Amino acid sequence: MDQLKKFELSAPRFAKGQFQLIAGLGGRFTQDTADQIPLLWDKFIPEIGKVPSQIGEETYGVCCNPDGEGGFEYIAGVAISKLDDLPERYRWIELQEQTYAIFEHHGALDTLAQTFQAIWKDWLPNSGYEAADAPEFERYSADFNPDTGKGLEIWLPVKKPA
């Protein structure tokens, strides 16, 4: 019987993320309902390029506002320059300047959960860092390819332990 191939996680690069406003469609999820997140993207994709004050062509999947019981908010969105004209149906969040460990996702989009698991269960406990109390997000480049994962990065906010 074939051995299951061990999941390979590339070493992260570290960068200081700049302040950004992200706006899009959001919902509350748990680990058990996270498989519904693609449906949120299905609703949001036709709106890309039509969000008031959108800047850039990148898209973002932001995990934020945890409830302490495994629930979190997820926003499928884009960067915007201001909140002034934003319709009420959009959720928004401020990403503050913060140090991030940035991981490239390799493989099809349906293997994204494996990348997250490797980051949280393997890399983080052995990294000398701890997760900072800030949103983590997926950043999809303008030329993102859902079949190969090319153009997808996971930005994990980190800090050195006190």
Residue 65, domain extent: 18-159
pLDDT of residue 43: 97
Q: What is the reported pLDDT for 62?
A: 97
pLDDT at 7: 61
Judge whether 12 lies within some domain. Answer: no
Please tell me the predicted confidence (pLDDT) of residue 1: 41
Instruction: Kindly state whether residue 84 falls inside one of the protein's structural domains.
Output: yes
- pLDDT value, residue 157: 96
Examine residue 13 and state whether it is found in any structural domain, yes or no. no
Backbone angles phi, psi at 36, to 5 degrees: -90, -10
Are 119 and 9 a contacting pair, CB within 8 Å?
yes
Instruction: Tell me which residues of the chain have a pLDDT lower than 50.
Output: 1-5
Closest by alpha carbon to 104, among 157, 148, 136, 150? 150
- Asked, for residue 62, whether it belongs to a domain, the answer is yes
- CATH number, domain with residue 94: 3.20.80.10
How many Cβ atoms sit within 10 Å of the Cβ of residue 67? 10
Tally of domains in the chain = 1
